[in-house]
Structure 1
Amino acid sequence: MARAIAGLYVITDARRPRRVALESAVESALRGGARVVQYRDKSDDARRRHQDAKTLATLCRARGATFIVNDDVELAVAVAADGVHLGRDDDDLAAARAALGPGALIGVSCYNEIERARRAAAAGADYLAFGSVYPSATKPEAVHAPLTLFGEARHFTDRPLVAIGGINADNIASVITAGADAAAVVDAVFAAPDVEQATAELVACGFGPAPD
């Protein structure tokens, strides 16, 4: 099973425009070097969501990437995802852990709140996400999370830290320099004309060339 939360972390979002079918887009992102895929779809079509998540879980396993489901603990269990990502209004961490088991990865959105991050780490979160680090077209109303948060969080946790919000090839290096272990993107990959190329460029700009 894939375990790492590091590198380029791509998020599918059913509300955002995408040039190709979901499976093809994610497969291209994985070829380009994405290491984590999060499935985000808040629609009411449970059957389609289950099929989508099952397909992406299979793709990620084949590529050695980590597969995370946004919000939906029950769906994560059903498709044997590597874990789940929780926001402010989702299931609490203890309930998610009870449902998913001790081996699952549970990520928590901490926005720009260092105390929320501290509490989540103490409660057993496996990774912490801060954002929006830059203005985001996906969530234009999101609070601003300064890059200094990553250094602050490192004082109390060694868990992976994820940056999200407005990240692109021009600014991803600064996010990694600030201390983020992973950079999460939506449109920078999935709205691009060539998903694989856009992914590879982000990986190269943020994490350096792939080893030979």
Structure 2
Amino acid sequence: MTGRFITFEGGEGAGKSTQIERLQRRLSGLDFKVIATREPGGSPQAEKIRSFILGGEAKHMGPFAEALLFTAARIDHIDTVIIPALANGVHVLCDRFADSTKVYQGISGQVSRSLIESLEQVALKSLRPDMTFILDLPAEIGLSRAGERQAGKGERADRFEQEDIAFHRALREGFLAIAKEAPDRCVVIDATQDPDDVERAIWTALQNRLPDFAGTRVSHVA
């Protein structure tokens, strides 16, 4: 039996990492085999590309060059991590995937849809997420959360977090547009809620959408 590929998308500060960690812990506690990964990154080579992009080294090259770099990282990530895990029956939880390229470089960066789709076809081949959670919240709230997180860790804003509010508002609209285009795959979750409520909403949706998890019951937040 192959594993399920579940992706998490959304703007900055939406809480994707927190919810992935919670879902991984819950699934592991129910004896499911599961790994968590991220994009850009997730494999040694892809992590090098991640550092280059988020450090702002590629910004002067423009959105299309960034899309090419994301695609190169994605190919390595898919080939070395995602596909082997799924083939071994391991469920994969991924913090961002191809939808982020569509939104960040396609919609906000104005790279043509046809070019983005061509890159996606090359990188993904037949791979598609079984389910995508889009954690939605106003851009202002997300950026405030991201700033608080950075301050707590002593980190600097990355290449995309530094963009203006109009860019981040466009990201939100882009993710919501993707959800409307692919309602069978995407579930929009109100990320302004308390993290426990977001977790419950994710778990309920997962059980309703994917039969692998339908036999397990929501009892309490792990």
Q: Indicate the TM-score class for this superposition, using the shorter chain for normalisation.
A: 0.3 to 0.5
* Higher gyration radius (CA): 2
Q: TM (normalized to structure 1)?
A: 0.41
Q: Which has the higher contact order (CA 8 A, sep 6+)?
A: 2
Instruction: Report the structure, 1 or 2, having the larger helix content.
Output: 2
More strand by share: 1
Q: TM-score, normalised by structure 2?
A: 0.40
